[in-house]
Structure formats: C-alpha cells, structure tokens
Amino acid sequence: MTISPTGAITLSGWLGDRAAFKAQSQTRADHSTFDLLIPLYKGSQAGSVAGTVLFSSTTNHDAAGTVLWNKPGSFSSTIGLQAARYAPPTMTGTATLTATGGDLGSFSSTVNISTTGKATSPTKGLSLSITPASGVWKATIPNAVTKKADTAYGAIFQKPSQLGVGVFIGSGKNGAVKITQ
C-alpha cells in the first residue's frame, strides 16, 4: 500500500487463495480512514473484499480494520486487516521458518537470510526469497505428507518486531507460515 501526499491510496497484493488484486482508494476528509473495495474473481463468481480501514499508529500496527472477504459459492468471512509501515532493510541472519495447517501437518527449519534476501537452509527442498525493497517473500516448503512442495507467499511485518507472515494452500486447505528471528 502506498499513500500519496494528496491521500490517494494504491494497494496491490494477493489473498490467501492466491487471488491477485490491485485497488485504489482515497482517504476520507478526516484523513484518518479510507474505504476499501477490492473487486475479485471475474465473471459469474465475482466477489470482493470490502470494509473501512482506520489509520492509527500503535505498538502493533499503523492501520487496521475489519473487512468482509466474499467469494460466492465458496465462503464469506469477516477478517481483521492490519498494516504497518515498512522500511528496508529486511530480516537478515539466522531465522526460523515455521509452517502449520493445510495438509502439511507441522514444519520448522532454520534459514540463513542474506542482505540480498536470498536464504539458505539445511532442509532439502526448502527455499526462501525476500524482496528487500518491499518485504514481500516467497517460500517453497517440502511436504512430507504429499511428497510435493507447497508454495507460500507473505510479507515482513515490522510491528512490534520483524515477523514474516504468510499463507499457502495445501490440497484445498490453507496453512500459515511464520518467519521469526
């Protein structure tokens, strides 16, 4: 998310089901909130993410709100949204990547993250790459249950401390990924 001096907001990213999105909004006259509407899933299965986001700098976030994520024929869910300013550099050095849920069961491995965002790990089949300029990351996690790799996507969240959070889809089930130092 970027915010211009005039209050114009541009958002882009992806959701837990890998749906990519781009959206624009504008801060309200009070400059402390904005309305979020992200159209998703073209055609007869069109859905959306919609809600109001409040800018409020706290220990845990710089903006937060409750939004409704609707995917017709699949689900409609109210979820919490949190955002925080991001300032490079990102995580470097030794970290732990942990994944749970999906059909993965439980997974944990040590990774060594370079200043360029590339990571090495003693775990065969695990890869992690972080884009330092944005904090966005992608990981490939070996799945001992399915014998295939699961791909996870996420971002580094810097409040209250650096934490990589993300999601992956196993065999039709979502899982969560954390990168901690």
Cα–Cα distance measured from residue 6 to residue 31, given in angstroms and rounded to the nearest whole number: 10
Q: Answer yes or no: are the C-beta atoms of 177 and 164 closer than 8 Å.
A: yes
Q: What is the dihedral of CA 148, 154, 160, 162, to 10 degrees?
A: 70
DSSP 5: T
For the chain, give the mean pLDDT. 88
On the question of pLDDT at 90 being above 70, the answer is no
Q: Answer yes or no: are the C-beta atoms of 175 and 157 closer than 8 Å.
A: no
Give the closest residue to 81 by CA, choosing from 157, 144, 6: 157
Q: In the chain, what is the straight-line distance between the N-terminal and C-terminal CA atoms, in Å? A: 25
Across 88-93, average pLDDT: 76
The predicted model scores a pTM of 0.79
Cα–Cα distance measured from residue 10 to residue 48, given in angstroms and rounded to the nearest whole number: 16
Band (119; pLDDT cuts 50, 70, 90): very high
On the question of pLDDT at 107 being above 80, the answer is yes
pLDDT tens readout for residues 22-75: 899 999 998 899 999 999 988 777 899 999 999 998 998 899 999 999 988 888
On the question of pLDDT at 158 being above 80, the answer is yes
% of the chain residues with pLDDT over 70? 98
Q: What local confidence, expressed as pLDDT, does residue 28 receive?
A: 92
Q: What are the percentages of helix, strand and coil residues in the chain, rounded to 5?
A: 0, 60, 40
On the question of pLDDT at 153 being above 70, the answer is yes
Domain positions in the chain are: 2-83, 93-180
Band (89; pLDDT cuts 50, 70, 90): low
Across 101-123, average pLDDT: 90
Q: Answer yes or no: are the C-beta atoms of 76 and 69 closer than 8 Å.
A: yes
CATH 3.30.70 is held by the domain 93-180: no
